[in-house]
Structure 1
Amino acid sequence: MSRRPDILCIGAMLWDVIGRAPRRMAPGADVPGRIRHLPGGVALNVAVALARWGLAPAVLSAVGRDPEGCALVDEARRLGVLTDWLSRDTGLPTDCYMGIEDSQGLIAAIADAHGLEAAGAAILSPLAADLAGWSGPVVLDGNLTEDLLAEIARDPRLSGADLRVVPASPGKAERLEPLIAARRGSFYLNRLEAEILAGRTCPDAATAAEAVVARGAARVLVTDGPHPAAEAIVNGPTLTAAPPSVAVARVTGAGDCFLAAHLAAELARQPREAALRRAVDAAGAHVSGKDVP
């Protein structure tokens, strides 16, 4: 058994298949480019980034016992992620995500998370065993079903945990409603996701973050591509930070790097302003094709 982790990342652990073209693409376009096969899923992406910051993250997820699953677990371990508490007996193939990017960003994506959805609450079983009494940080991703997120919101095994919540995509943002209603967690959103949860359009990240706080969230961080990111909290000032100007080399995973850098900074007891600055810089470095630290 591995050493006790610093952080739990609960959600998707899968293979990313990312195709990227170096120019703008129109619907139906068939263009030359590059296709990469990478470890992915929000929970794993965040865990890998946290490991680069010197932390010991563990992933609670479902991974098949097929060759793809075995290779994924081996690669996650190589990258510094603790995998001892995975659910491996779903009977389904290892999950997969396929995305298409062009020079302007993400064009379209399909997430096949049937293994994670089928496993359901079984991925939480370590909380009643080796990880019982967990009171540290927990990253939750919106690839979990709405029913499971609602269950987590009231799960006594996580009542003392520091929840960090990310929707995974705009189409899954509404799954976070039970956590907002329970006033649990810090939320990491892009502006579109924040607008969905706020129920209205917003001109910038600061307005969007404040709108979600007004809905009941205690703390909300919102990114907005190349525009300033923001953090809003109950009964406190809203902060903003502009990301660095970079050439876009990739976009998938930028939000996960933002969350990981922000959480690592807070665990190092950096103040709000410094943590937000580290987060936008880390996301910018990822978009430019670099990994930090």
Structure 2
Amino acid sequence: MTHDPNSTTAPAAYDILCIGSVLWDVIGRTDSTMNIGRDVAGRICQIPGGVALNIAMTLTRFGLRPALLSALGRDALGDALIADCNAMGLGTDYIYRSDDYPTDRYMAIEGPEGLVAAIADAHSLEAAGALILEPLRDGRLGRASAPYTGPVALDGNLTHALLTEIVAMPEFAECDLRVAPASPGKAERLKPFFNHLNTTLYVNLEEAGLLCDTEFAHAETAACALLERGAARALVTDGAKAAALASAGTTLCLTPPPVTPRRITGAGDTFMAAHIAAEIDGATPHDALHRALETAAAFVAGETST
């Protein structure tokens, strides 16, 4: 792909930027109840994952072509992941490749009641820091004087320092910014995005509570509280219970369809991607939320491919 050095927008082939973790998911699933120290039978798979990549993969199902901004090691795992991303039609032109750090991985165990435990090794992404954002600064995707204006999905696997820097960066001043924390343990990293006018926060009920330093019983209450804290728009999910979308003067609540859960990892990312895709397609707030809940439910039920 040739690059016009005077261009300040993404190449026409890309519809959205996905910034954050691109790694290998190592997932163990079992139908047996898990307790600490218990050894049970199950299945283990290794698949492309990471919040940014999960979002990007789902976006392709809606006919969109995302470009990835992340960090991968210049190793065999990184080469294999690049090849898989290219095969899925994802843009890998802007991924930073490191000679000093290995490709990141995420390991999780899922039982019949959901996630049992997980470890996210995103040290290479954190070490790369602002290097992954160079395409937004050097003219390939934008620059401070002519920032990128399209949609951007950003995940909280970046460091708190870098996320705080992004809030103040002119390169992000005009984009449609969608932000997710990646996990409850990283939810508080999103606090700098309060009062960032072009940001939509995607969180679950627990993450909303961490951001507001309290506990919520319902998604609607949580979404409204996030707006009171300064969020421009907030979307809060609560598993099988009603999800809520809150923006200035408007609150919308919908309940997802009931399903038997067969997998958990990636469900929130799938929901976020489906909602973004629906809004890019011009759907109403009600239809966009409905489509996102339907898509996430199908994913949890194992009706869509990973």
Give the TM-score range, shorter chain. over 0.9
1:267 corresponding residue in structure 2: 280
User: Which of 117, 139, 147 is residue 129 of structure 1 equivalent to?
Assistant: 139
1:115 aligned partner: 124
Residue 6 of structure 1 pairs with residue 15 of structure 2: yes
Partner residue in 2 for 1:163: 177
One-letter code of the match for 1:282? Answer: T
CA distance in 2, matches of 1:157, 1:212: 25
- Note the C-alpha offset of 1:184: 4.5
CA contact (8 A) 2:195 2:230 kept: yes
2:96 counterpart of 1:87: yes
Q: Is the 8 A contact 2:31 2:111 kept in 1?
A: yes
Structure 2: distance between partners of 1:41 and 1:180: 24
Q: Which residue of 2 aligns with 1:242?
A: 255
Alignment of structure 1 residues 1-293 onto 2, 5 Å: 1=1, 3-4=11-12, 5-127=14-136, 128-132=138-142, 133-236=147-250, 238-291=251-304
What amino acid maps onto 2:225 in structure 1?
A
Query: Normalised by the size of structure 1, how large is the TM-score?
Result: 0.97
User: CA contact under 8 A between 1:66 and 1:93: conserved in structure 2?
Assistant: yes
TM-score, with length taken from structure 2: 0.93
Structure 1 stretches of 4+ moved >4 Å: none
Code of the residue aligned with 1:225 in structure 2: it is G
Q: How many residues align?
A: 291
Q: Structure 1: which 5+ runs fail to align? A: none
- Contact 2:196 2:232 (C-alpha < 8 Å) held by counterparts: no
* Alignment gaps of 5+ in structure 2: 3-10
For 2:181 and 2:211, the matched residues in 1 are separated by 10
Contact 1:244 1:284 in 2 (8 A): yes
How high is the sequence identity, in percent, across the aligned residues? 53
Offset of residue 252 of structure 1: 0.4
Query: Aligned AA for 1:139?
Result: A
C-alpha displacement of 1:208: 1.0
d(CA) in 2 for partners of 1:277, 1:180: 26
- Displacement of 1:182: 3.5
